[in-house]
Amino acid sequence: MSSVIPVLLSGGSGTRLWPVSRKSFPKQFAPLTGDQSLFQASALRLSGPRYAPPLVLTNADFRFIVTEQLADAGITPAGILIEPAGRNTAPAILAAALHVARENPDALLLVAPSDHVVPDADAFGRAVEQGIAPALAGRIVTFGIEPTRPETGYGYLECEGAGGISPTPLRRFVEKPDAATAETMLKAGNFLWNAGIFLFTARSMIEAFRAHAPEFLAPVEAALDDATRDLGFLRLAPQPWQTLPDLSIDYAVMEKAANLSVVRFAEHWSDLGGWDAIWREAQSDRPAWRGVVADARSTAIDCDDVLLRSDDEDMEVVGIGLKNMMVVATRDAVLVADMDRAQDVRQAVTALKSRGARQAESFRRDHRPWGWFETLVMGERFQVKRIVVHPGAALSLQSHVHRAEHWIVVSGTARVTVDDKVSLVTENQSIYVPLGAVHRMENPGKVPMVLIEVQTGVYLGEDDIIRYDDVYARS
């Protein structure tokens, strides 16, 4: 079998799963249905004898999350392309095709979102095998999911025939339908959910853009030509990329192309497109008693068809007499909504952004390439943080204009530079960093290093940093 190059798209924001998914750390990187993140599960599903190492497209904010999660999953990528700005899926997929075509224009690419749930990886692999022959023959193969209900939250694919796994010609794409239309399509038998997964040769996709969306070719080629290597990443050039339309691959190419085939996938699949999908996913093996899905920090009393979830170890969620409701709590936000309004959660994000609420896009915990930090207390002229630094990692050599810092090591050992002095600070020891001092913190040990940072000053924003040296090449 020809080796297939998985192309993982991992730049989305996942606003319908707020407050657990936010712009700073969206749903694909969160462990929503198990111990692994959706991104890790996707990468593992598309690994093994059938596949070549994956190519990942993401943005600059997520590049170190991507590398860390791939390393934790034991996967070495073929490459990680950094998009300068979000322009939907059409430019990203064309960039992947052009990038691969420079070495092998007849290489097979399997483009997949990195936030789907497909428990039976082998069954999906067999579906991919069904699509290889038509893809090598110049077809663009898309994968349609056998519908199990009249879903109004998905687009549909109308096939020439019903039943069977063999590739069949695609008749047309159908936009998200109303309930009556969805019911009619479900009964017809030749309509499938559009999974947004595509198999094709690099040459076929480039030719499809040339025929149906030629305005994308020159800017994407220029972005690749002027791309820069940054550590292990390939940064696409921002200037030509900014001129690209913001358009999905469906609108740009697929709805216009005549050489599309569909492979039917009848096993379990979910795009986890809302909290109602999380509720259904939790019952995919066995329906919950009275439809109650509650995690270890949640208690349901006389409830029916509810989702209760707490993502904070100190937050208990209790529901009494609730019906068809979802309640999701994090450390700094709580969502309470009717299950039928799951697709409207993004409106909450828009409303919070309009009044400048930090919770719209950011968490208290902020991920960095060296580890993470979270704000514990903030007040007038002071802030207390917990900082965790990975083994062997180092913060940048930096100084601050408006604040001084006091570091207390809780566990592990820190190597601390303050101006021209380097010290080892161990558990229960502390060190003071005066305002304006050039300083750096490193973890020379084999275990994570945890410390408490107390900041004092007139301004405590994250942009009060002057960097002199950074192993992660951040500006």
pLDDT in tens, 25-80: 999 999 998 889 999 999 999 999 999 999 999 999 899 999 999 999 999 999 99
Separation between Cα atoms, residue 387 and residue 442, nearest integer Å: 12
3-state secondary structure of 158: strand
Per residue in 396-439, pLDDT (tens digit) is 999 999 999 999 999 999 999 999 999 999 999 999 999 999 99
Does residue 226 carry a pLDDT above 60? yes
| Residue ranges matching CATH 2.60.120.10 in the chain | 365-469
Q: If we measure between CA atoms, which residue out of 422, 417, 405 comes closest to residue 469? A: 417
pTM > 0.75: yes or no: yes
Per residue in 362-398, pLDDT (tens digit) is 998 888 999 999 999 999 999 999 999 999 999 999 9
pLDDT score of 3:
86
pLDDT score of 417:
97
Cβ pair 107, 229 in contact under 8 A: no
Cβ pair 263, 194 in contact under 8 A: no
CATH number of 4-265: 3.90.550.10
Helix axes 121-136, 38-45, angle to 10 degrees: 60
The token pair that represents 453 in the structure block: 């940072």
Amino acid at 208: A
CA atoms lying within 13 Å on the CB side of residue 38:
28
| Residue ranges matching CATH 3.90.550.10 in the chain | 4-265
Q: If we measure between CA atoms, which residue out of 241, 195, 208 comes closest to residue 97? A: 208
Considering the chain, what is the average pLDDT of its residues? 94
Q: If we measure between CA atoms, which residue out of 14, 74, 7, 12 comes closest to residue 46? A: 7
Task: Indicate the helix (H) or strand (E) that contains 96.
Answer: helix 89-101
Residue 199 CA, distance from chain mean position: 21
Does residue 320 carry a pLDDT above 90? yes
Q: At the top level of CATH, which class does the domain 365-469 belong to?
A: mainly beta
The token pair that represents 254 in the structure block: 């697929």
pLDDT score of 244:
96
Separation between Cα atoms, residue 267 and residue 132, nearest integer Å: 19
